[in-house]
Amino acid sequence: MDAKTSNYTKWQSDVIVDLIKRYKFPYIAMNPGASFRGLHDSLVNYGNNDPPMLLCQHEEIAVQIAHGYAKASGKPMAVILHNLVGLLHATMAIYYAYIDRVPIFIMGATGPMDEGKRRPHIDWTHTALVQGNAVRDYVKWDYQPTAIEGVPESFARAYSIMTTEPQGPIYMCYDAALQETPLTSAVELPPANAVATPAQMMPDPSAIAAIADRLLKAEHPMLLAEYAGRRPRGFENIVELAEATGSAVWDVNNALNFPNKHPLCLSMDKESLKHTDLVVGLDVKDWEKQLVELNNAKRTMETLLPGHCDTVEIGFGEIGISKWSMDYCRMQPCSIRALGDTALGIPELTRLCKERIAGDAALQNRIAARKIAIGKRHDQVWSKWQDEAKKDWDASPITFSRLALEVWDVIKDEDWVLTANELKHQVRKLWDFDKPYRHPGVELGTATQIGISIGVALAHKGTGRLVVDIQPDGDLMFDAGALWVAAKYQIPMLIVMHNNRAYYNDWAHQLRMAQIRGTDEARAHIGMDLFGPEPDFGALARSMGCYGEGPIDKPADIKPALLRAIAEVKKGRVALVDTITQHR
């Protein structure tokens, strides 16, 4: 039924549907809940399920799908969470979206706040005062309108806040009674021509000019990029800046910032940092992880930069910094901090540098020589990685590098996308990330991989691209029901299990403790292993309506299995191949 053209009584929840359509959300991910039954009915019967709802088995999965979709497409999705309990289920996923600067429009429900309308027990235990407090410390904004007249303005403000850089999730809470009340008078929506997101913020031109001075005087500059690659033309802009100035580039990998086989790429080459005299941060939040040598067991760090090295930055600095979590990481002292959007700042820096280089023959020669030197170092590092990849080539269980190269061999001639996990950096050392959409950035810890990966695959659905998820076993054990979501909504993707039958990151920490304390390393697996019994992920995939194969522990069997799985993906299916990898 098309409710808009039938004899239909309008409800206040219909206004929310009008707003969802006005702001052109492509999908709504949700797990059902009675607190938004009014909105749910409006979405189905007034809105005709457009945008379509995606039924998820857990609230975390709903948020993570929206997270992956936004990272891959640059467009926000909507999510609906059932009152207090659904919100609490989703908190970890919301927090990860916040620290990853990802826009998600999260709608919830509560109450009724009118005590006279609450059902016994359930409406009391599932209602909070104020519900947004549960996530207020890790969303950009939350609001709970008290009347339908407050819904359009707060919806528009929330969208604007969510999509203004640095981006992040917002939370809107709608009273159950408000949703279920008939609409007796017209409610004005934001004007159709109203700007949804403010214009980008230009960094101070004098600060950009000062950075250009430092960059052109430096002997061994390094561009350190973290989030800049997500901005419009960010990938291409960084390439242009690096080539113009002869700067090496280190890609932090929270976005794909730079092609890894470009001769100026020195990502993960810590030796090169020891000779760097200028680091230019391009929208960097975590400087420290890249720039220090960490003794994990003793929790000690030693800087890799020489004492005379200077640091400058273009980015969002302390804008939106949390007052609760410490995701902002250790502060990096910078001699120049150009606060603003790298989408504007990098092209302006490039323009200034090119102007000055054009009139200085000596500088041109110095840059040309430096590019040759950086290229030689890049080739040396790349060659070393290829040699290292052949170590224990025929081992069973399979090495990380063997698995990475087997997958690369079958996808390299496809138009491929890697979702999140990068096999402990092995794919970055062995694959060719030549286009900005190849990889939206790494996952954010256990129980984030499969949901984000489905969101990435959803963003690329219909493009003909082969989406590949290298999937850890522990992560999938958290959210196995997510496979059903991908199968139900026909989101094609290749899932290659990186199955070491353990939560091995934590196992490694226990090994460090054993080595320091002199306890038995053979007991470090206790409370960490995923064997006895071993999960059958191939059978699990088949039970969810996906193609499933494995477990495979012989390297020679990987390629035929992958080719069979890719054939299924090209039919529009989810296909999972379970490969057994080494622990280390």
Token output for 94? 């919301």
Q: What's this model's pTM, rounded to 2 decimal places?
A: 0.95
Least Cα distance to 321 among 273, 285, 368, 272 occurs for 285
- Paired sense of beta strands 221-225 and 170-175, if any: unpaired
Give residue 1's pLDDT: 43
Question: Among 158, 165, 166, 164, which Cα is nearest to 141's?
Answer: 158
According to DSSP, the residues that pair with 502 across neighbouring strands are 529
CA 187 to CA 246: how far, in whole Å? 57
DSSP per-residue string spanning 488-535: HTT--EEEEEEE-SB-HHHHHHHHHHHHHHT--GGGTTTTTB--SSPP
Domains and their CATH numbers in the chain: 12-179 (3.40.50.970), 205-386 (3.40.50.1220), 390-580 (3.40.50.970)
Distance between CA 66 and CA 77 in Å, rounded? 5
| Tens-place pLDDT, residues 28-79 | 999 999 999 999 999 999 999 999 999 999 999 999 999 999 999 999 999 9
Q: What is the pLDDT of residue 491?
A: 98
Instruction: Return the residue matching tokens 């009724």.
Output: 112
Residues of the chain with pLDDT under 70: 1-6, 584
Contacts of residue 474, defined as CB under 8 A and 6 or more positions apart, other chains included, come to 446, 502, 503, 504, 530
Rounded-to-integer distance, Cα 62 and Cα 502, Å: 26
Q: Which of 292, 296, 300, 302 is nearest to 270 (CA)?
A: 292
Residues 94, 135 contacting (CB under 8 angstroms): yes
Cα gap 62→458, rounded to integer Å: 12
Give the pLDDT confidence of 506-530 residue by residue, as tens digits: 777 888 888 889 999 888 888 877 7
Are the beta carbons of 501 and 529 closer than 8 angstroms? yes
| Pairing between β-strand 221-225 and β-strand 278-282 as defined by DSSP bridges | parallel
The string over 99-127, giving b where at least 16 C-beta atoms fall within 10 Å of a residue's C-beta and e elsewhere, is: bbbbbbbbbbbbbbbeeeebeeeebeebb
> First and final CA of the chain: distance in angstroms?
57
The residue whose two tokens read 């220090």 is 292
User: What span, in angstroms and rounded, lies between the C-alpha atoms of 106 and 169?
Assistant: 7
Q: Which pLDDT score, from 0 to 100, does residue 4 have? A: 53
Gap between the Cα atoms of 372 and 387, Å rounded: 23
Torsion, Cα of 460, 462, 466, 468 (10° steps) = 40
